[in-house]
């Protein structure tokens, strides 16, 4: 009996120890579970924080891209503005004529050459509907200083010719021919030129070269316009102007009693008459016969005038101004009555030396060949339509 009680007690003891172990293990497991769920929670939180950070980075990168683009656009517009300012400076230079240095712009000469080629392709299409007028002087180039204070220089106004002619001074029987503008600028004085002797002396600064012919003004008892064929070397025609008093046509160029001009429509004479003595008269001439086709008395005074030229049937007279180093188109006369003095543009010539003794317009190039106190200058003209004023 006693032995059984001991056995039961031992068994009970063993059962109690076992229970305690299980309880312990259970507690440990719960603690581990707790910690695992804590880690899990933390990991999820970190992951979502990382996502948020990534999103922030992406949107900031996008902003940076946008800012970069804005910056680039700003730079571009600054670039265009700098370009524009540069162009405006160029323009102002032509308006003010700041630098008194003699420089040769090869580009302008090249442009002339290409311009001539372009015009040649365009043939005479412009002649039929000529309605251009000056809007401004786009550029000027001083090509050279050669010869006397007064004189005339011009290109042969005919398709395909690039020849340049010099009438040095106001009284001679010889002219100088250069094969091109480049030859003229390269030449020491007139050394690269060919001399042409004309049948009589020319006087003043009124002469033109048109289709390989010299049209020059000679003067004895009366005023003569002589047409001379340079190709065959003979005088083709001559016309007498019935003027008793040989009054200078421009007050400031006393040697010139008659000025000739060529425009898109042909040959013009600019002169003065006894009936309209204080003002300039204009006549359209037949290029073949030298007949006067039509005549106009203009309202442009001779006093203080330096020179004049004709573009599309409009006479532009250039006057000396009170401002030193500037002359100005101050009177226009349009034979078609499309441009009045009020509508005429303010065209200033940035001359620096004396008065312009001649201004010869080349309709193929829209250039004026100017002689200013021995300087040979090119003025590039900007045009607009007469009707658009
Ligand atoms: C140009 O004309 C002036 C004055 O008439 C004269 O002194 C000069 O020698 C001439 N020049 C040339 C190169 O013929």
DSSP state letter for 157: B
Residue 340 vs residue 295, higher pLDDT: 295
pLDDT at 345: 78
In this predicted structure, the answer to whether residue 387 has a pLDDT above a threshold of 60 is yes
Is any ligand 1 atom within 6 A of the Cβ of residue 152?
no
Q: What is the pLDDT of residues 180-224, one digit of tens each?
A: 999 999 999 999 999 999 999 999 999 999 999 999 999 888 899
Predicted confidence (pLDDT) per residue in 76-98, tens digit: 777 666 655 555 555 555 554 43
Q: What is the pLDDT of residues 266-295, one digit of tens each?
A: 999 999 988 888 999 999 999 999 999 999
In the structure encoding, which two tokens stand for residue 317, read together? 């007279």
The two three-digit tokens of residue 158, written as one number: 């005919």
> Residue 11 pLDDT more than 50?
yes
Structural contact between residues 379 and 151, judged by C-beta atoms closer than 8 angstroms: no
Q: What is the pLDDT of residue 48?
A: 85
Other CB atoms within a 10 A radius of the CB of residue 62 amount to 10
Distance CA 142, CA 145 (A): 8
> Ligand 1 pocket, 169 CB below 6 A?
yes
What's the pLDDT band for 120 if we cut at 50, 70, 90?
A: very low
Q: How far is CA 149 from the centre of its chain?
A: 29
Q: Which atom of ligand 1 is nearest to the CA of 170?
A: 5
Q: How far is 291 from 29, CA to CA, in rounded Å?
A: 129
Please name the residue whose Cα sits nearest to atom 8 of ligand 1: 147
Which residue in 159, 178, 158 sits closest to 167, CA to CA? 178
Q: Is the predicted pLDDT of residue 31 greater than 50, yes or no?
A: yes
Residue range 126-167, pLDDT digits in tens: 344 688 999 999 999 999 999 999 999 999 998 888 999 999
Q: Give the mean pLDDT of the chain.
A: 84
Q: What is the pLDDT of residue 94?
A: 52
Tell me how far the alpha carbon of residue 338 is from its chain's centroid: 26
Q: Residues in the chain, how many? A: 389
Torsion angle defined by CA atoms of residues 305, 127, 140 and 285, in that order, rounded to the nearest 10 degrees: -30
Q: H or E segment at 31?
A: helix 2-96
**Ligand 1 neighbourhood includes 113 CB (under 6 angstroms):** no
Residue with tokens 């620096």: 352
Scan for tokens 């200078």, then name that residue: 248
């Amino acid at each position: 009996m006693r032995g059984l009680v001991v056995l039961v007690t031992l068994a009970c003891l063993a059962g109690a120890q076992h229970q305690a172990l299980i309880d312990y293990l259970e507690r440990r497991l719960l603690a581990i579970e707790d910690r695992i769920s804590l880690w899990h929670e933390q990991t999820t939180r970190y992951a979502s924080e990382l996502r948020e950070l990534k999103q922030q980075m992406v949107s900031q990168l996008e902003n940076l891209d946008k800012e970069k683009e804005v910056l680039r656009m700003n730079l571009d517009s600054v670039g265009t503005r700098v370009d524009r300012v540069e162009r405006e400076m160029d323009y102002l230079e032509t308006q003010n004529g700041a630098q008194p240095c003699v420089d040769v712009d090869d580009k302008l000469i090249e442009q002339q050459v290409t311009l001539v080629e372009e015009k040649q392709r365009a043939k005479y299409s412009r002649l039929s509907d000529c309605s251009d007028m000056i809007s401004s002087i786009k550029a000027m180039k001083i090509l050279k200083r050669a010869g006397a204070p007064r004189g005339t220089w011009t290109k042969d106004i005919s398709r395909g010719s690039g020849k340049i002619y010099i009438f040095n001074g106001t009284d001679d029987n010889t002219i100088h021919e250069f094969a091109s503008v480049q030859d003229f600028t390269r030449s020491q004085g007139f050394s690269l030129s060919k001399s042409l002797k004309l049948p009589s002396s020319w006087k003043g600064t009124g002469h033109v070269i048109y289709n390989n012919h010299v049209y020059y003004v000679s003067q004895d008892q009366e005023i003569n316009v002589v047409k001379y064929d340079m190709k065959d070397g003979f005088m083709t025609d001559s016309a007498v102007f019935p003027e008793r008093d040989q009054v200078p046509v421009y007050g400031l160029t006393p040697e010139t009693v008659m000025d000739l001009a060529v425009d898109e429509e042909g040959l013009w004479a600019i002169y003065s008459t006894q009936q309209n003595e204080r003002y300039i008269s204009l006549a359209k001439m037949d290029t073949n016969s030298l007949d006067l086709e039509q005549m106009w008395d203009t309202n442009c005074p001779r006093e203080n005038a330096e020179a004049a030229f004709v573009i599309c049937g409009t006479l532009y007279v250039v006057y000396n101004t009170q401002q030193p180093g500037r002359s100005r188109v101050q009177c226009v006369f349009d034979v078609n009555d499309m441009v009045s003095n009020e509508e005429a543009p303010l065209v200033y010539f940035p001359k620096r030396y004396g008065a312009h003794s001649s201004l010869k317009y080349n309709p193929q190039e829209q250039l004026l060949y100017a002689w200013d106190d021995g300087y040979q200058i090119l003025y590039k003209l900007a045009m607009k339509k007469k009707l658009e004023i």
